Structures are given as C-alpha cells and as structure tokens.
Amino acid sequence: MTTLRIVLLLLAATSTSSLAQDRAADPDDVATIDALIEAYYESVSGHPGSRDGERMLSLFIEGGKISVGLGGNEPTHELAEDYLRTERFLTLTEDFFEREISRDTQRFGNMANVISTYGISDAMENTNYTARGVTVFQLVRHRDRWWILSTMWQRESPDFPLPAELLD
C-alpha cells in the first residue's frame, strides 16, 4: 500500500511539472498586451484540422478560466487546461478566422481588463464577417510577461446587437 501511495505521489508530481512546462510561451506572444491578444486570435483561428491548443494554453496562467456558451444556453466556466485540450476546441471542420475589430483596454499597474470586439470569417484578411461578438479578458503581468486570468465571450445576436461604442 505504501508503494502504491509513493507511485501515485510521483505521478501527481510529474503531471504538475509537465503542466508547468506547458506554460512556456513564445516570449514575443506575451511581452505586451497587444502581442498577447494577437496570439490569442491567431491560436483560435485556422484552416480545417487542428488548432494550436498548446500555444493557446501557454497564454493562460495556471488555473485560468474560460467561459463559453453565453449565447442563450447555460454558461459554462472551465479551466483553460481542460477546455483547450478537448476535441471541441482543437478540431476545426472549416476555415475559421477570428480577428479583432476594436478594443478597449483599461490598465492599472500589473492588471488589465480588455474588451475586444471580434469578427469571424473564412480568412484572416476577410472583413465580410459571418459573425461578430465580444471577448472580455482579465490579464495580469507576472514574472516579466502577460497572462490571461480569464476570458469569456458572447456572439452578437438579434437580442444583443453590438453597440456603436464597441465598434470604434
């Protein structure tokens, strides 16, 4: 029984250290708020196949949260580690490109709140959007880099059209 406990503790320690290694981000992706948001949109976008979940995960602080499903269903609130490794996030069946249309950033010291309006289309340079919405980010600067603490988004709908101030 003692041997089993030791093995389980070693496995737990190994999985924790590999998670910490997963957080190694490209320094250019996390040097500034602009770079972090750009890396986020690049990571969520792509051609049919797989998204770069590990790059996306490297943007989130350990324990960071993602809220999805705010379009009428019950909202979900998941750990980034869990959500970003699911097939529903990783697999794209068609071209999907999210790009930033506008942004409002409020920063104080090492924390920032970002409201980012986005458009979705079949190519990053295409501005004929098939959908638009807003993503809200909570960010923190820690250990000489920016991290995403949490993010949530909601798509525009007839009940919730985007107001003009979020399109400037």
Please provide the average confidence, as pLDDT, over all residues in the chain.
Answer: 84
pLDDT digits (tens, 9 = 90+) for 58-84: 999 999 999 876 555 677 788 998 888
- In the three-class reduction of DSSP (H, G, I as helix; E, B as strand; rest coil), residue 73 is classed as coil
pLDDT of residue 9: 35
Please tell me which of 30-34, 42-46, 72-76, 127-131 the model is most confident about, judged by mean pLDDT: 30-34
Q: What is the DSSP letter of 159?
A: S
Residue among 37, 81, 87 nearest 57 (CA)? 81
